[in-house]
């Protein structure tokens, strides 16, 4: 049986999709392959790295990738920002597309703690969405 392939897509592939990749690698069963990519990769956001470390997940070795760097044969594409929908190239119609439009924590203005809180909110929301997804019949053995 071939693995289920899951791609998280967000324009910059810097915060939301990187956190989703980190959570998915921890929470997914052995038969799930996980990637993240962006239409305009911009590097992994250091605040995303910091808040994931608070939860015991190290995403510092992850790197921002373009769509050309991930397998074309993907089963699920999850967009995490509205911008990705508008800027996505045509992807095969057979793909299951999920849209989790989460606010970009990198756009929050304020002091360091306010910015970190925005990243924590995104991190925790992504974790909850992934726990729901992996508990669904599509991912249950």
pLDDT for the residue numbered 93: 55
* pLDDT band, very low/low/confident/very high, at 130 (cuts 50, 70, 90): very high
Which residues are designated catalytic? 10, 81, 88
pLDDT for the residue numbered 92: 55
pLDDT for the residue numbered 19: 97
In whole angstroms, what is the distance from residue 106 CA to residue 43 CA? Answer: 12
At what angle are helices 16-27 and 112-135 packed, to 10 degrees?
Answer: 40
pLDDT for the residue numbered 42: 83
In whole angstroms, what is the distance from residue 103 CA to residue 110 CA? Answer: 15
Domain range annotation of the chain: 4-135
Overall average pLDDT of the 21-30 stretch: 95
Cβ atoms of 41 and 59 within 8 Å: the answer is no
pLDDT for the residue numbered 107: 92
pTM assigned to the model? 0.89
Least confident of 12-21, 64-73, 123-132: 64-73
* pLDDT tens-digit map of 32-89: 999 999 888 888 999 999 999 999 999 999 998 988 888 878 888 898 886 655 555 5
- The mean pLDDT of the chain is 88
Q: At the top level of CATH, which class does the domain 4-135 belong to?
A: alpha beta
Distance spanning both ends of the chain, measured CA to CA: 12
Place of tokens 């392959």: 33
pLDDT for the residue numbered 25: 96
């Amino acid at each position: 049986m071939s693995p289920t392939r899951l791609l998280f897509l967000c324009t910059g592939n810097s915060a939301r999709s990187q956190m989703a990749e980190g959570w998915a690698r921890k929470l997914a069963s052995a038969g799930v392959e996980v990637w993240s990519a962006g239409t305009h990769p911009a590097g992994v956001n250091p605040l995303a790295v910091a808040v994931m470390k608070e939860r015991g997940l190290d995403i510092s070795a992850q790197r921002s990738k373009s769509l050309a760097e991930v397998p074309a044969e993907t089963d699920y594409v999850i967009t995490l920002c509205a911008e990705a929908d508008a800027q996505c190239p045509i992807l095969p119609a057979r793909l299951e597309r999920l849209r989790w439009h989460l606010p970009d924590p990198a756009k929050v203005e304020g002091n360091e703690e306010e910015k970190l809180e925005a990243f924590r909110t995104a991190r925790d929301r992504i974790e909850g969405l992934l726990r729901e997804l992996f508990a669904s019949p599509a991912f249950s053995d």
